[in-house]
Amino acid sequence: MPKRPTTKREVDKRKTSKALRKLRRVADRASEEGGPGLTTWEKDFVEGVSGRLEKYGSAFRDPAKGRLEEALSSRQTHIVRVIDKKSRKPAKDGTNKAPNSTLSRGKPMKASGKPKWTPRVRDINDDPVQSEPPAPRHEPPSPPEKRRIHLKVVPGGKTTGRGR
């Protein structure tokens, strides 16, 4: 298992408090009366991230997972946005219940008037069976005539000397 970096990094207190505020606001909006509610995984995520933000000022340690001056990693920020979007969107049946999946999509896009793409291939089994070769429709072409090419010297062209 690779060692984690041991460098201590300083995260701006304002960024930490902003991330903590946003996380709590999203969780409260999702949990309120008529809200979609949080799944157990989302509840654990909110508790874990908010605990790390309060204790360390940052919710991640590995610099490969996000910008070092931010309080949340890029994936954590994405999950907070998904929960926020879920908490703002009312359900289709009129109630404010969210679908089962946190990352669920809405309606699929409408298909355009174009037909579905199919590859341009030929099936050799669809070719008609020929019992005998077809008769030639016309006589084979006669060989082309041999013409003699005539070349002509044009006056006023370039001189053949080396220098001018």
Beta strands in 44-102 (DSSP E): none
Token pair 């016309």 in the structure block, residue: 138
Question: In 10 A of CB 31, how many CB atoms?
Answer: 15
Report d(CA 161, CA 154) in Å as an integer: 17
Coil, helix or strand for 24?
Answer: helix
- pTM value is 0.49
- pLDDT confidence of residue 81: 93
Residues of the chain with pLDDT > 90: what percent? 15
Q: Which residue has the higher pLDDT, 25 or 98?
A: 25
The 10s digit of each residue's pLDDT in 135-148 is 767 777 788 888 88
Q: Where are the domains of the chain?
A: 13-88
| The two three-digit tokens of residue 22, written as one number | 């946003």
Report d(CA 104, CA 110) in Å as an integer: 17
Across 51-57, average pLDDT: 88
**Pair 26, 80: CB distance under 8 Å:** yes
